[in-house]
């Protein structure tokens, strides 16, 4: 399992909501910027789920005193389609390319497996 996209959402001053439509800011970050504790918790969750080749999002919140909480896990993570922000468009396209590549790999894997079964079945 690997991390393919990371971002943080920051609430506007005086508010707790982080959603862009509520005035929050979405900022993409590199994998190296992810807190070590979040990486550790994410790894434990991935190991427990044990779902190979799955795509999901883990949403965390960090409290004002630094505690980390898992809010939810999404099996159908969304993309930020607010394409008026160029960075959203770039990151959405990156994620789409990763998904297409994985689907293509699976189709080819399945195709090869079927062909092998057909040969064995003669």
Over residues 52-79, the pLDDT tens digits come to 767 788 899 888 898 999 998 887 666 6
Q: Is the pLDDT of residue 36 over 90?
A: yes
Residues 20 and 73 in one domain: yes
pLDDT at 101 (0 to 100): 87
Half-sphere exposure of residue 59, counting CA atoms within 13 Å on the CB side? 11
What does pTM read for this prediction?
Answer: 0.65
Residues 88 and 47 in one domain: no
Residues 50 and 4 in one domain: yes
pLDDT at 20 (0 to 100): 78
Residues 85 and 73 in one domain: no
Residues 19 and 60 in one domain: yes
Helix (H, G, I), strand (E, B) or coil at 57: strand
Enumerate residues 6+ apart whose C-beta is below 8 A from 13.
none
């Amino acid at each position: 399992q690997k991390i393919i996209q990371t971002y943080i959402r920051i609430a506007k001053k005086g508010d707790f909501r982080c959603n862009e439509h509520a005035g929050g800011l979405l900022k993409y970050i590199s994998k190296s910027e992810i807190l070590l504790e979040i990486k550790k918790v994410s790894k434990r969750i991935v190991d427990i789920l044990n779902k190979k080749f799955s795509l999901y999002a883990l949403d965390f919140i960090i409290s004002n005193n630094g505690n980390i909480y898992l809010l939810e896990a999404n099996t159908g993570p969304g993309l930020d389609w607010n394409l008026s922000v160029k960075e959203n468009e770039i990151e959405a396209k990156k994620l789409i390319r990763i998904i297409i590549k994985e689907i293509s790999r699976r189709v080819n894997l399945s195709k090869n497996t079927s062909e092998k079964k057909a040969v064995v079945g003669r």
